[in-house]
Chains A and B, each alone.
Chain A
Amino acid sequence: MLQSVTDLRPDLAHLAAAPPLAGSERVAVEIGGVGVAVEGVPPVLAAALRARYGPFLAEAPGAHTVRVFRGAPKYLDMAPDRFIRIEEERHGEAAVLLSHDFAALRAAAGNRLLVSDPDDIKRTERAVENYLRWVVADLVLERDGLVLHSAGLARGGAAYVFFGPSGAGKSTVTELTPEAAVLSDDLVLLQRREGRWEALTTPFLGTYPQLAKDTRRFPLVGIYRLRQAPEVAVRPLSLAVAVGMVLACCPFVRDPGRRSAALVPRVEELCRAVPVRELAFRRDASFWNAILDSSRSLLTGHN
């Protein structure tokens, strides 16, 4: 039986008229040089956000501020397959992000996050997190960076990034490398600084404990597209295939506002500067031998 979908897709008037929450606290985070401050926060929510984003809290004024408001009881319906829906819309120069229990507006007149149930702290935390993921994905593009769905691991002072769709094995390679400094098992920020690409962590929750993430920057030496297989192998990728595969794992590629106009050239710059290869791996740590062997081959000119 088909299920009808009755989404509430708010217009700008709805987004502008929402009542503020009963709170005046401010929580700011800093991610890769990008500062985002959440304002108009009630004390209980502020405490929860500070606990969630501890290592990333910032005192300095954020480059981007968003104020929290009370929204409608529901926005998007749950999909029949129960997957979370997060959809982006454009209203002229304004951008809107919608999900089941929040709606967010980014506009020159001010940024707003409308939450359906402010008394449900966990749901509201998730709404704030999704807003941060959305805005940081764009702000880092303006700062020579990009965010990639990936696991980031640092060994020997260098970062290795492993990417792929859900189920590719990002958390698995993290679990198989207990000696590494873990940047993230979900979202890693890649940023060019002084001509060198670096990898650093983000505060966005995957399965890896937030407080155990390493918050240092590491030089990025390799990017690996994961594929689970019986035999371990590292295979080079053509530049176009590498760019396409990395793009497919960037958050918010689906954007009627054509975020890709800025993202595609950035990904090409990354893939030209840092080797991108396919890594066929199995559920043991032997893939590290293949990675290190391929890196040595690169240095000696034998691929």
Chain B
Amino acid sequence: MSISTPLSKNPDVSWRSIEGQAVLVHNRRGEIQILNSVGTYAWENFERGTDTVAAEIAREYGIDVNQARADLDDFVRELCEAGALVEGHAQVAR
């Protein structure tokens, strides 16, 4: 799965942001993921495009935009491997 493939939140994952951290519940596997503040920002906003999100993260944290993009790509791959993100444009209710 390449990062350029359209991705959306897996409808089998329930999630809730709590004081800036997202708690993800993989309903079919019964697994829980907790994202830090940067990961939560990416999770909440990645449908706007990883370039946009990476630029915002770079600006917010004062880091090189290429590094932010590389880190974001790694994070998206992790979410895909964990099943939290799936291919497709489906809009998922929170």
Contact = CB atoms under 8 A, between A and B. Distances in A.
Q: Do A and B bind each other?
A: yes
A82 interface: no
Given A256-B27, A260-B27, A244 B32 contact: yes
Interface in B23-38: 23, 25, 27-34
A240 B33 CA distance: 10
B27 A258 contact: yes
A206 interface: no
Interface stretch (B12-20, B45-53, B68-76, B82-90): B12-20
Given A241-B34, A256-B12, A260-B14, A247 B19 contact: no
A143 interface: no
Interface stretch (A197-205, A261-269, A282-290): A261-269
Interface in A236-260: 238-241, 243-245, 247-248, 253-260
Interface in A15-50: none
A130 to B, nearest CB: 16
B21 interface: yes
Given A253-B32, A254-B29, A258-B27, A241 B21 contact: yes
A256 B28 contact: yes
A244 B23 contact: yes
Q: Is the interface of A mostly helix, strand, loop or mixed?
A: helix
Given A240-B21, A244-B23, A264-B25, A258 B14 contact: yes
A240 B14 contact: no
Which applies to chain B's interface (DSSP): helix, strand, loop or mixed?
strand
Contacts of A264: 14, 16, 23, 25
B11 to A, nearest CB: 9
A257 B14 CA distance: 11
A255 to B, nearest CB: 6
B32 A265 contact: no
Interface residues of B, number: 18
Given A253-B30, A253-B32, A256-B12, A247 B25 contact: yes
B42 interface: no
Contacts of A241: 21, 34
Given A238-B21, A255-B27, A256-B28, A244 B16 contact: no
Contacts of A265: 16
A268 B18 contact: yes
A295 to B, nearest CB: 23
A240 B39 CA distance: 13
A247 B22 CA distance: 13
B32 A248 contact: yes
Contact of B18 (A239, A245, A256): A239
A268 B16 contact: yes
Contacts of A247: 23, 25, 32
B25 A260 contact: yes
Contacts of B32: 244-245, 247-248, 253
Contacts of B18: 239-240, 243, 268
Given A248-B31, A253-B30, A260-B25, 11 more contacts: A238-B19, A239-B18, A239-B21, A240-B19, A240-B34, A244-B33, A244-B34, A247-B25, A254-B27, A264-B16, A264-B23
Interface of B: 12, 14, 16, 18-23, 25, 27-34
6 contacts: A247-B25, A253-B25, A254-B29, A256-B27, A268-B16, A268-B18
